[in-house]
Amino acid sequence: MSETALDAGFFLRWMTAAAASVDREASRLTDLDSAIGDADHGSNLQRGFAAVVKTLEAEPPQTPGAVLTTAGRQLISTVGGASGPLYGTLLRRTGKELGEAERVTVDELRTALRTAVDAVAQLGGSALGDATMLDALDPGVEALTTSFAAAAEAAGQGARDTVPLQARKGRASYLGARSIGHQDPGAASSALLFAALAEAADQGVAE
Amino acid sequence: MKMLMNVPETVVADALRGMAAAHPDLVVDVENRVVVRRDAPVAGKVALVSGGGSGHEPLHGGYVGPGMLDAACPGEVFTSPVPDQMVRAAAAVDSGAGVLFVVKNYTGDVLNFQMAAELAEDEGVRVASVLVNDDVAVTDSLHTAGRRGTGATLFVEKIAGAAAEEGAPLERVAELARRVVECSRSFGVALSACATPAKGGPMFELPAGELELGVGIHGEPGRERRPMMTAREIADYAVDAVLADLNPRRPVLALVNGMGGTPLLELYGFGAEVHRVLGERGVPVARTLLGNYVTSLDMAGCSVTLCQADEELLRLWDAPVQTAGLRWGR
């Protein structure tokens, strides 16, 4: 699988799938957020990814890197909250790491995502086990060595594993021990991002 | 749940159009979501820019005007604005003397203002930032997001705004703002959960006969629930929570704040109890501001903010201010 080459079309499909999945799951994300936050995670990401798709469709970038930097910039400009800068940084940084290549390997994508996830951790000041996006992103990236499907599965498991954790960053942290027993909404949406990646791969990759 | 609105998607834009209609001394950019005082940029004056999620009105747009903010950036309901808004605001109000960002300590606000500061500096605007974190209900440690910014934001915007209006340079305005933060603490209580337009109903369940102690201003549930208490008991609890962290040795500036859904009749009664307990604890009150100033949509409840104010801070507090939400001495 490491030989597989991914082109700009693959990354466009990833972003489109992510937008569709955020759309489908918006009310679930908002419900998760209303239990321990402020009930807007779903609608904020919905607004952001809708803007991403609109921009990408209006003028489709020609390289994988440009697709992701454009998407990241749109998220920063439209989402707000903590999710805007964090998801924006995740995609923008990944895009920058991929550079100007017209095709990238899965290995190159994994390395770029690794760097970007570390940048997100630094920006948010969070560590694994704090019940944040990181708890889904980190296992997702690691499992990319196996397959896209494995990455989606690992990210989903990582999100579910935030349930028994006490939130230490973000708005849920204000609850202290009362945040235990709830899935982190950011981890849940991060899992959607990896599920969308697997979906884009299912639709076929350029050889 | 019934709400006075058209559709949830346009509540912020609709409110901004209303602000423009009601306050011709403001320039309201509805599309880009920036509220600016009409005479900006004021030559030689340091500019103050703040912003945050909508739903806390009159914070922040209601505090734009002479003696307070030069611009405000309203985000979606309870969602931090985006960097593009702060950059646009900074460019509109900077006279060359620099801009102070007043930022409430929430992860989203901090990240977006941080990105905006970098972008504005790239465009040649000198930016300083002050982080407001006055809510003692949140444990302040390296392992949390830190104390929230609530009622003290109004003190910071008023006092630093007065200093800027007098012509103080950026470093001095920023230093005063940080001093106000250092000297201020808050504690909030909810009698009901607030309802966001997007959700169309209450954000959390607060059973009849119970109240939430240590609540924030975004409908985040607080840290403890108890059977309903009297105004006297709530004042004791809230003031003692603040004093445990502040220990003032000088007369205080007191904000007795309504969360949006509590009638002024009740709030005045609560204010009397706040004064009583401060008297019992030997803390003289220099000034009191009572009303709905930092709100949480329709939440019933209140908060107490105390600022240990020296002569200079009090003088700047008393200085003239002319905004939609706060207006005196002019």
DSSP result, B196-226: ETTTTEESS---TTEEEES--SSS---SEEE
Q: Chain B residue closest to A27 (CA)?
A: B199
CB B303 within 8 A of CB B153: no
Task: State how far the alpha carbon of A201 is from the alpha carbons of A68, A149, A152, in Å.
Answer: 16, 9, 11
Does 1.10.569.10 match the CATH number of domain A5-201?
Answer: no
Query: Are the Cβ atoms of A174 and B108 closer than 8 angstroms?
Result: no
Catalytically active residues of B are 56, 218
CA–CA gap between residue B45 and residue B67 (Å, rounded): 11
Cα angle for residues A7, A11, A12 (degrees, 5° grid): 110
CB pairs under 8 A between A and B: 105
B218·A170 Cβ contact <8 A: no
Q: For B6, which DSSP code?
A: S
Q: Which of B78, B81, B115 sits opposite A38 (nearest CB)?
A: B78
Structure confidence at residue B138 as a pLDDT band (50, 70, 90): confident
Distances (CA, A) of A47 to A25, A54, A88, A105, B84: 13, 11, 13, 30, 16
Residue B79, chain A, CB below 8 Å: the answer is yes
A64-75: pLDDT as tens digits: 999 999 999 999
Residues of chain B found within 8 Å of residue A76, distances taken between Cβ atoms: 82-83, 115
CB contact under 8 A, A81 and B75: yes
Chain B interface mutation, best of A38, A44, A86, A90, highest count of B Cβ atoms under 10 Å? A38
Q: Dihedrals φ, ψ of B98, to 5°?
A: 100, 165
| Whether pLDDT at A14 is above 70 | yes
| Residue A207 confidence (pLDDT) | 44
CB contact under 8 A, B75 and A37: no
Band the pLDDT of B201: cuts 50, 70, 90: confident
pLDDT tens sequence across A82-95: 999 999 999 999 99
Cα angle value A61/A66/A72 (rounded, 5°): 110
The structural domains of chain B, ordered by start, are 13-182 (3.40.50.10440), 184-308 (3.30.1180.20)
- B176 class by beta-carbon count within 10 Å (0-12 exposed, 13-18 middle, 19+ buried): buried
**CB < 8 Å to B84, chain A:** 77
Q: Tokens 């337009």 identify what position?
A: B197
CA-nearest residue to B145 within chain A is A169
pLDDT, residue A3, reads 62
Quote the pLDDT of residue B198: 81
